[in-house]
Amino acid sequence: MRCPYCREDSDKVVDSRASVDGDAIRRRRECLACGRRFTTYERCEVIPLTVLKRSGVEEPFDRAKLARGIAQSVAGRAVASDAVERMADEIAEWAETQGPRIPSDAIGVAVLERLRPLDPVSYLRFASVYKGFDDLADFEAEVVELQKLSLQKTTAPKSPEPEPGPGDR
Ligand SMILES: [Zn+2]
């Protein structure tokens, strides 16, 4: 800590204690250059993660709300319920690293990236809400993209399909 008197950057802490309200650590320091004493306060900095919506409105990031949104998309589908919670945790953790402010679109895309391989129907449900499909054409374009992907999947394996055996008729 730079000395406020002589600007020298070398000191020793002579006393350290919690402040009266407990929110800070108060340190008494002695400058090793000029010998004068000064006080510093150390506080915990908590920057809440905020979500920047397309409308320009900011709101606090809400993991529970995210989990609800995902749960709605997978409702009635063969998706394990803990997969929703895991996905919400993963995205919340990732979002923290992107903060302190993250666009809602980025969160939507993070969900979509995870839903797509999990379940196409859930993916389309979520996409129609988050991407804000304006018309049927947008939706159809997304379906075409999905079909391309599933086509890639089925043609991906390098090893040829096993030939049907003589008994397979
Ligand atoms: Zn000094």
How many angstroms does the Cα of residue 13 sit away from the middle of ligand 1? Answer: 13
How many angstroms does the Cα of residue 30 sit away from the middle of ligand 1? Answer: 8
As given in the structure block, the two tokens for residue 66 are: 């995210």
SS3 per residue for 27-61:
EEEEECCCCCEEEEEEECCCCCCEEECCCCCEEEC
How many angstroms does the Cα of residue 36 sit away from the middle of ligand 1? Answer: 6
pLDDT of residue 43: 83
pTM of the shown model: 0.57
pLDDT of residue 85: 92
pLDDT of residue 136: 57
pLDDT of residue 153: 60
pLDDT of residue 4: 94
pLDDT block averages, 10 residues each, the chain of length 169? 94 90 88 96 83 89 92 90 91 89 88 90 84 61 71 57 55
How many angstroms does the Cα of residue 38 sit away from the middle of ligand 1? Answer: 9
How many angstroms does the Cα of residue 27 sit away from the middle of ligand 1? Answer: 16
Phi and psi at 29, nearest 5°, equal -120, 150
Whole-angstrom Cα distance, residue 67 to residue 72?
9
pLDDT of residue 154: 57
How many angstroms does the Cα of residue 19 sit away from the middle of ligand 1? Answer: 24
Q: Can you tell me whether residue 16 is helix, strand or coil?
A: strand
How many angstroms does the Cα of residue 157 sit away from the middle of ligand 1? Answer: 71
